[in-house]
């Protein structure tokens, strides 16, 4: 299942600081239809993501009925993404081979 959407980079200060993009509700609805078959525990869902020319694998985090996409610092720096800035995200569910490039 493939997705393309735009979202804003947000900061979460939790036990370890992270930057995320909240998925739009329309995308969350699509994911919920297959979530049980693709999750590997406590609701996280493996994905392959592209922002700009950077591609990496990660997992969506369930949050308040939706999903958060973690955005690695290396991705933010490579793609010059700042807190509060929007980004176009291309994402596929599952975990094909290929790490950050």
Q: Rounded distance, CA 88 to CA 85, Å?
A: 10
The whole-number pLDDT of residue 96 equals 56
Of 2.40.30.100, 3.40.1190.10, 3.90.420.10, 2.130.10.10, the CATH number of 2-93 is 2.40.30.100
Label residue 94 left, alpha or beta by phi (over 0 means left) and psi (-120 to 50 means alpha).
left
The whole-number pLDDT of residue 97 equals 46
Give 63's pLDDT tier (boundaries 50, 70, 90): very high
pTM, two decimals, is: 0.87
The whole-number pLDDT of residue 8 equals 96
Q: Which of 58, 93, 89, 53 is nearest to 72 (CA)?
A: 58
Q: Where are the domains of the chain?
A: 2-93
pLDDT in tens, 31-52: 999 999 999 888 899 999 999 9
């Amino acid at each position: 299942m493939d997705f393309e959407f735009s979202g804003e980079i947000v900061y979460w200060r939790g036990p370890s600081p992270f930057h995320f993009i909240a998925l739009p509700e329309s995308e969350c609805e699509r994911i919920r239809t297959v979530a049980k078959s693709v999750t590997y525990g406590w609701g996280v869902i493996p994905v392959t993501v592209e922002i700009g020319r950077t591609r990496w694998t990660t997992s969506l985090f369930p949050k308040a009925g939706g999903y958060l996409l973690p955005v690695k610092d290396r991705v933010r720096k490579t793609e010059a993404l700042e807190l509060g800035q929007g980004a176009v995200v291309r994402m596929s569910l599952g975990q094909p081979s290929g790490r950050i490039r």
